[in-house]
Amino acid sequence: LRFDEQVRVVLFKSQVKGVFCAGADLKERAKMDDAEVGEFVRRLRNLMDEIAALPVPTIAAIDGYALGGGLELALACDLRVAASSAKMGLIETTRGLLPGAGGTQRLPRCVGIGLAKELIFTGRQIDGEQAASMGLVNHSVLQNSEGDAAYQRALTLAKEILPQAPFAVKMGKLAINKGMEVDIASGMAIEGMCYAQNIPTRDRQEGMAAFREKRPPQFTGK
C-alpha cells in the first residue's frame, strides 16, 4: 500500500458483524511464555507503527466492538468513524495488563492526558456517541440494519478526500504528524519544508489554473 501510487485512502473495516476488532486472543496468549508474549506485543506495536506511517489518509470504520488492541488499531489510523452503538475501550488493566501497541501514547494525543488516564486506569468501555463527544472519533452515526453504518460514513469521508491533490494531502499528513512531535517553532519549520516540496508539483499548477479558468481541477499526483 505504501508504494502503490494508485492508493489514495485506506479504510479499515471488519468482515465480522458487530465487531471491529476484539483485541488479543487471551486464550492464545495464556499458552505463551514471557518471552513469546514480549515478542508478540513488539510485533503488534510495529504493525501499528507501520499503519500510522502510511503516507495516505487512513480511516477506521468502527461498526462494533473495538477493545484493547482493536482500539489501538483504530488509534493508529488518521480518522475514525463509529456507529453510536459501538463499544470502545483500552480494557487491558481489567486483565492485569496495560496497553502495549501504542495505546498509552496515541490515546492522550487524541483526547488529552486527563481523559486518556481515566479511560486506561479504569478500563472503561464507551459507546460511539461518548467517543465523539471526547474527540476519540470524528463522527458517530446511527447503526443501520446491515450493521455497516460506520463503514458507509467512512466511505463518504474517503470520497471527500479523493478529489483533492494527492501529494498535497500526503504532505499535509506528514507535516501534522511530524509537527505534533516537536515544539511549534520546529513544527513551523517542518511545515515550511513540506510546503517547499509541494511548490514545484504539477498539481499545484493545475490547482491555480483551474481556479483561474473556473473549472474543477484534474489532479494527477505529480
Q: Exposure of 6 by Cβ count < 10 A (0-12 exposed, 13-18 middle, 19+ buried)?
A: exposed
SS3 content of the chain, % helix, strand, coil (to 5): 50, 10, 35
Looking at residue 219, its amino acid is F
Residues 17/146, Cβ–Cβ less than 8 Å: no
User: Rounded to an integer, what distance in angstroms lies between the CA atom of residue 69 and that of residue 66?
Assistant: 8
**What is the set of active-site residues?**
24, 69, 72, 92
Nearest in space to 58 (alpha carbons), one of 145, 169, 163: 169
